[in-house]
A and B are shown apart, each in its own frame.
Chain A
Amino acid sequence: MLRMARSLPEEVLEHVFSFIHSDKDRNAISMVCKSWYEIERWCRRRIFVGNCYAVNPSMVIRRFPEVRSVELKGKPHFADFNLVPDGWGGYVYPWIAAMANAYPWLEEISLKRMVVTDETLELIAKSFKNFKVLVLSSCEGFSTDGLAAIAANCRNLRQLDLRESEVDDPSGHWLSHFPDSFTSLVSLNISCLGSEVNFSALEHLVGRCPNLRTLRLNRAVPLDRLANILRRAPQLVELGAGTYSAELRPDVFSSIAGAFSGCKELKSLSGFWDVVPGYLPAIYPICSSLTSLNLSYATIQSPDLVKLVSQCQSLQRLWVLDYIEDIGLEALAAFCKDLQELRVFPSEPFALEPNVSLTEQGLVSVSEGCLKLHSVLYFCRQMTNDALVTIARNCPKMTRFRLCIIEPRTPDYITLQPLDDGFGAIVEHCKDLRRLSLSGLLTDRVFEYIGTHAKKLEMLSVAFAGDSDLGLHHVLYGCENLRKLEIRDCPFGDKALLANAAKLETMRSLWMSSCSVSFGACKLLGQKMPRLNIEVIDERGPPDSRPESCPVEKLYIYRTLAGPRFDMPGFVWTMDEDSALRFS
């Protein structure tokens, strides 16, 4: 066997490897033998770095010299909910600077939760002659000036996707920086931009890019502009409408309806801010071919939603506000048999009383009617163990289950028991579960269930749950595939963490905020585990100004080959071997 491996010419092996795309497989290949490692590293074209601080750019560049596509993630997930103070980190500039030198043929950059500056965008625009794809997901720190640089310089740009990023002082003129000769755009997502874009520039851009498949407009695009845009791009597959609101007028209506029916390829709709229900029938003609519908910004009430979804028989993904109510979810269950993913967001998350009739029953209905359902995000105000057990039994193929009962520590509203058994049933029946978010009243028992059954679980989010360290211990000890664990406001302290320190090196990261992990324990971990960065995030001031037993505010632990980082703000401290010295 060995002789055969050596006798195959490199070119052949490289050709074979070119069919292997997943990182996991590529990593496996590179571990077969030294020569395969060498061949593989020269022909790897895509890099995914799940934590930008786990490794530094020069390491990546040294090993993989011919990369065309880079994906990086920065801040921990809880940054989405403002739990990570501003200034924590996640700066992408050093990466771009290094890659500008090393990867002149870089084509794709995808960033998530990173700080991107205009300077960075300008560097990207200047450095990569064949640049094609820029995806900035939940990023921040840049303005439309940076976008203008991209528009002006990236002649071969195919995709510009700003999903949910925070863009500063947006003015619409950056769009005009795309030269008239620019026609390569395939996907444009500007739905997060606050201010108006120049409409005629937009229409002109849309009109001259024949390959445009995805167009997600922002709220500032009014309904009467939509028809014009659609008429210039009847080949669109994915559309994000802007504001779907205007005075009800028959001429406007027929214009919109006509434009929509001209788009025979439309499969995905989103946007729909401020919906005037009278305009909804304009999209009825295309409903039957829709596979993805994101109405999570649309303040449409239940009756209109029912009318809409009952025509979307091909629907696979639905994101919607809780205005849909149980009754709408029943309709969904009845008509949309191909549904795979459901997300129900709260329309009034901070109201004391429920404003809609959305209960656990809605989710149960969907689980009964939609046998392909495997991904759920559900915000509600009440839940029972029975409902969860039913859902678990109906959907054994569930892979992502995120339940958010809005009031922390809410018990089963009928039995007043904790929801341990319900979630226990989820992990027991859904053997392929990869992602789980818990809520409601939960004791250590739920963690015992999770540790026992959730063997494929990769990401777990916990809030206001558990009684003691035992809970954390169950998870760290039992969940073999755990990669990301994020915990807030739980009574977990030092013991479980220290007892399972080695586990932390097998995970990407652990986040714990408002728990009871002491500073002393953090120091200890830092000393003992050199391949982990133990970051104490504490805005009260240096942790050594308080006793060692004092819990830290926030703790972020991640494995890394790059050692402590140097871009930490004043409220972040890394515990490492020297911390004993530094903090004495």
Chain B
Amino acid sequence: MDRITPLTVPLGQAEVFQALQRLHMTIFSQSVSPCGKFLAAGNNYGQIAIFSLSAALSSEAKEESKKPVVTFQAHDGPVYSMVSTDRHLLSAGDGEVKAWLWAEILKKGCKEMWRRQPPYRTSLEVPEINALLLVPKENSLILAGGDCQLHTMDLETGAFTRALRGHTDYIHCLALRERSPEVLSGGEDGAVRLWDLRTAKEAQTIEVYKHEECSRPHNGRWIGCLATDSDWMVCGGGPALTLWHLRSSTPTTIFPMRAPQKHVTFYQDLILSAGQGHCINHWQLSGELKAQVPGSSPGLLSLSLNQQPAAPECKVLTAAGNSCRVDVFTNLGYRAFSLSF
């Protein structure tokens, strides 16, 4: 049988370890820089890598352009979530949120601007932070994670203003409803809760697993992903990917996807979702599968759309997950290339 044997380079201990690390790397989060030219990706070893999208997308892109411009150890634990303000990159994972200045981040030996830890009930073990959400109107940051609470932090003062309790198990994801303003959170307990930020109270609760159409008990009840578009919300995870009408709290469309979805987002008139399985699924609002675009990782955990107005040439969709690679889609229909750690 004709099989191309890969080059077996004499591997010392360090090289073997590096190879094993890369094989077992998972990229949990991505974030685009405010100028739109750089992409930050955080992995399960606590490292953050900054890729130059403009270099990788330019016509003279070489192999090195697909490697990170700089990689640094940001956290001790995995970096589960990252967001960007117009000057800072905020990353969170092991119970702390750290801020990095985008202007400085490309220099070696970059230090975080500040780090904050929300007040936890127990000091024995530090719960992880799974999701970060920026609320631009209040200039605050919402953190949610293993301690089942949503903490709000004021970005100017750094003080933690609110702690919203209600979930009985840890929180996977957050979404912001612009108009109200309301925050949606989905968690391991299978419920999507809506919080009113002004009153700091729970406004609405949707227990997805209790709805027969979408629940899939063999997968569990956890809500892995949330996205909202004012009146509509799409959520998925253990239960099937479903589009809900928020005011009536009814599921309107169920997307026939077997594998649990880990990330979902609205894009123009499509819903893009990704999860177990290597494809990004393009759904129409009616529930039909428009396209399935294969990526390079066996499972995807995060999607990022670079819609920064400052860099229209870098308008790409990037997807990352259970591998050390970040797939770049210049046209949503096919994978252009992959950046790799």
**A, B from the same assembly:** no
Seen from chain A, the residues whose Cβ lies within 8 Å of a Cβ on chain B are none
B residues whose Cβ falls under 8 Å from a Cβ of A? none
